Amino acid sequence: MIIAELIEQLKRYDPNWLVVVAGYHHGYNHVSKINAIALQLNTNQTWDSGAHSLANLNHCEATPALFLGGYNDNIPYNPDDYAS
């Protein structure tokens, strides 16, 4: 999905609804982090990994992407532990 497609999908919903992402094992978290990243597409072939990997900075076929992440607000954490 590209950003334009996401925007079109989001227009269908009440703008006051929460936006969440899947939790680590169970549950959902608020989106609390949005980062531009570069991906190398279709690098992982196992069920327990996402299809894509972060691109090596020298990789000429890096694909720009937008990462949406979230963390459990009910436990203390140091945001620096999750810096990209």
Per-residue pLDDT band at 6 (split at 50, 70, 90): very high
Please list, in sequence order, all residues whose beta carbon lies within 8 angstroms of the beta carbon of residue 44, skipping any fewer than 6 positions away: 50, 51, 52, 53
pLDDT at 4 over 90: yes
pLDDT at position 75: 81
Q: Which residue has the tokens 């959902």?
A: 28
Q: Which residue has the tokens 């990994």?
A: 49
Span 34-54, pLDDT tens digits: 999 999 999 999 988 889 999
Q: What is the pTM of this model?
A: 0.71
Span 46-81, pLDDT tens digits: 988 889 999 987 767 899 999 999 888 888 766 666
